[in-house]
Amino acid sequence: MFATDDAQGSGTGRAAVFDVDGTLVDTNHLHVVTWWEAFRQAGHQVPTHAIHRAIGLGSADLVTHVLGGERAEDETQALSNAHKALYGQYFGRLSALTHAGRLLRRLAGDGWKVVLATSAGGHELSALRRAIDADDSITATASADDVTQGKPAPEPVERALELAGVPPEHAVFVGDTVWDMQAGSRAGVRCVALLCGGIPRADLERAGADAVFDNPAHLLAALPMRPPA
């Protein structure tokens, strides 16, 4: 999946596109709890497992997915604002998953253009990048501010490839949700899934994962050995 191939010498390069929440930073369950509280404050009793399955969708899509049916725009915005306020309390304590930064630095050192594709933006994205602590290895970021449709639409991955200047056949997308796998598959890239977001392997494979690893450390350990200098 991450083996050296002809793309390295083709002039187009190779891109390793990464989701962030649940893939590089251990935030999925924080999102579940803060969305649960936002729904509760608005009078909605929603089971946490239903919210967990929706993590990775943009805010408006998540609200629709969890509550069902079309929601009024002001209701969706109020729920989103409540979630942002609750989740924002954790910005200073976000923790990267083990070896997430090392994984990005290793790929960048091997000649991959590392691009983030995330529904986070603004201060949230800044907090996530601080947690990863590998800005020197990140070529670009396709955030919620750069697209009109979030995952599972392919636009976030397509935007990441555009920023990297790399065609889909020379890219790999790494994520942790079915929405990530669907977005990557629709964008025409090979998909790698990580189990650290809490989604079962079978669900990720059905959604398009070509390979599955436990977490960033497991993926890092599985990278091909570098040839002798």
pLDDT in tens, 196-222: 999 999 999 999 999 999 999 999 999
pLDDT over 60 at 7, yes or no = no
For the segment 182-193, the average pLDDT, to the nearest whole number, is 98
How far apart are alpha carbons 135 and 109 in whole angstroms? 13
> Distance between the two ends of the chain, CA-based, in angstroms?
22
Between CA 130 and CA 126 the distance in angstroms is 6
Give the Cβ contact number of residue 53 at 10 Å.
20
- Residue 1 confidence (pLDDT): 81
pTM for the whole structure: 0.94
> 6-26+94-222: which CATH topology?
Rossmann fold (3.40.50)
From-to residues of CATH 3.40.50.1000 in the chain = 6-26+94-222
Query: Region 97-108: what's the mean pLDDT?
Result: 98
Distance from C-alpha of 50 to C-alpha of 59, rounded to nearest angstrom: 14
What is the mean predicted confidence (pLDDT) over 25-41? Answer: 98
Q: How many CA atoms lie within 13 A of 93 on its CB side?
A: 5
pLDDT of 127 higher than 70: yes
d(CA 223, CA 227): 12
Distance CA 65, CA 54 (A): 7
pLDDT of 3 higher than 80 = no
103, 138 contact by CB (below 8 A): no
The yes-or-no verdict on residue 113 having pLDDT over 90 is yes
CATH 1.10.150 location in the chain: 28-89
| Fold designation for 28-89 | DNA polymerase; domain 1 (1.10.150)
Residues 38-80 pLDDT 10s: 999 999 999 999 999 999 999 999 999 999 988 899 999 999 9
User: At 229, is the pLDDT very low, low, confident or very high (cuts 50, 70, 90)?
Assistant: low
Rounded to 5 degrees, φ, ψ at 191 are -115, 135
Phi-psi region of 37 (alpha: psi -120 to 50; beta: other; left: phi over 0): alpha
Give the sign of the dihedral formed by CA 167, CA 189, CA 174, CA 31.
Answer: positive
Residue 142 has pLDDT above 90, yes or no: yes
Put residue 48 in one of left, alpha, beta given phi > 0 → left and psi -120 to 50 → alpha: alpha
Q: What is the mean pLDDT of the chain?
A: 94
Is the pLDDT at 6 greater than 70? The verdict is no
